[in-house]
Chains A and B, each alone.
Chain A
Amino acid sequence: MTESNNRLAIIAVHGTLDLAYPPLILATAALALDMEAAIFFTFYGLEIIKKGNADKLLVAPIANPAMPMPVPNIIGMLPGMTAMATGMMNNWMKKANVAKLSELLDMALEGGVRMIACQMSMDVMGIKKEDLMDGLEVGGAATFLNYASQNAIALSF
């Protein structure tokens, strides 16, 4: 076996349902592969780790031509379309038996994924540590880079 990296460093920038999944799926999968992982939640990514918020994230139908039922932007702007797109996606996920985001978050924390909330983003967006889930760290770019610089695979979503 060739020598391989055993550390995964992920940046989660977005707070939409679809973009919250990849960081959490990869980080929990890393645990299963005997790798260690960290996720740095910054800007809207903080929405994923707000207490009780993960399962309330939405999908944007606007500027999302890849949706299986593409919605013209002008229709996507109408009231209720975001809720409708979100309902559809949640329904597809459920049918495919995909774990809920809250379940993936719990598994990540339980398995020892380092979950780092970006201090600067918290300040910008007026988010306090107590607004976030328990068991998280708060840190800055240096925290992430120090972790990532130690031979990590680094990804951003």
Chain B
Amino acid sequence: MSVKADLTLDCSGMACPMPILKTKKAVESLQLGQVLEMIATDPGSTSDIDAWTQKTGHELVDSRQEGNKYIFYIKKTK
């Protein structure tokens, strides 16, 4: 599945808690239904983005790993 992103946020090299803080700000800047592509290198981000979407209610529509990069697609739902 390929998801079209409206905005890309590169959190490569950042450590906890920066990726989720930046992700929150980026998602806030989107319109309802738009998708954020977030790229991280922190292996903990897989679990953290999952938890973040569960807690905030935004939707993780897709994710994949490419080498040392973790790529997430998050749809703003509210």
Contact = CB atoms under 8 A, between A and B. Distances in A.
Interface of A: 1, 4, 25, 28-29, 31-35, 96-99, 107
Contacts, number: 38
A33 B52 contact: yes
A99 B54 contact: no
B21 interface: yes
Describe B's contact surface by its main secondary structure. helix
Given A97-B14, A98-B15, A29 B55 contact: no
A34 B55 contact: yes
Interface size class of B (residues with CB under 8 A): 10 to 19
Contact of A25 (B16, B23, B51, B57): B16
B64 interface: no
Interface of B: 13-18, 20-21, 23-24, 51-52, 54-57
A32 B23 contact: yes
A94 to B, nearest CB: 10
Given A1-B54, A34-B55, A34-B56, A29 B16 contact: yes
Given A96-B15, A97-B15, A31 B21 contact: yes
